[in-house]
Amino acid sequence: ASGTNKHAANSNLILPQTDSLTITAWVKPIGIQPDYSAIWMNETGEAGGFNFKNENNSLAYHWPGGAWWWDSGLIVNQNEWNFVAMVVKPSGVTLYCNNNSAVHNTTLSPLDIEGFRMGNYKGWDSRNMTGYIDEVAVYNRVLTTGEIRDIRHLTKDPTQDPSLVAYYQFNEEGSICYDKSHSYHANLFNGANKQRSRIP
């Protein structure tokens, strides 16, 4: 659960010159989120990840060469669980929210990913998500729409997909969020905590 600067952060996931990436997660925003409050956002250098904006929980993204002002038309429902995903490839970004998707065709630049935060944009106090995040998966490749639909409700098996570089279920006690795929563990900050999610 995230709130006033409550979030999780990782510092050792290094993906140099990344131009193909997929992030999937379940999110339950409590109310309308502050603009650019992040679901998942890289830590250093230029921004790369996805977030909320437009003061109505529109799903949006940041990436070098992209357009943070682009309007996806996708609304993340407040106070209920939503499946969200971001797929990055050199020719643009696809965002998913539940059964809908939106494509922004643009020429993207590679990004050096060195650590990331879940529920917060780069440590900014004003860009914190208030709500819940679960089942965060990071893939260092482009997943197809079919793959994303197929895995939405499934527990991931890292042995079946080597491109699953990090996977967080948040099922353990304590302030460490264990990566079930490798050892890119994340830590809870500022009183963030884990609660039973009841995701479908």
Phi, psi of 145 (to 5 degrees): -60, -40
Q: Quick one: pLDDT at residue 20?
A: 97
Q: Give, as one character, the DSSP assignment of residue 33.
A: P
CA–CA separation, 200 and 198 (whole Å): 6
Beta bridge partners of 176: 187
Q: Is the pLDDT of residue 134 over 80?
A: yes
Q: What is the pLDDT of residues 9-54, one digit of tens each?
A: 999 999 999 999 999 999 999 999 999 999 999 998 899 999 999 9
Instruction: Compute the average pLDDT of residues 66-91.
Output: 97
Alpha helices in the chain (DSSP H): 145-151
Q: What does pLDDT average to over the chain?
A: 92
Q: Which two tokens stand for residue 181?
A: 């795929």
* Cβ neighbours for 146, distance < 8 A, ≥ 6 positions apart: none
Q: Residue 184: pLDDT band by 50, 70, 90 thresholds?
A: very high
Q: What is the pLDDT of residues 158-170, one digit of tens each?
A: 888 999 999 999 8
Phi, psi of 86 (to 5 degrees): -130, 125
Q: Is the pLDDT of residue 3 over 50?
A: no
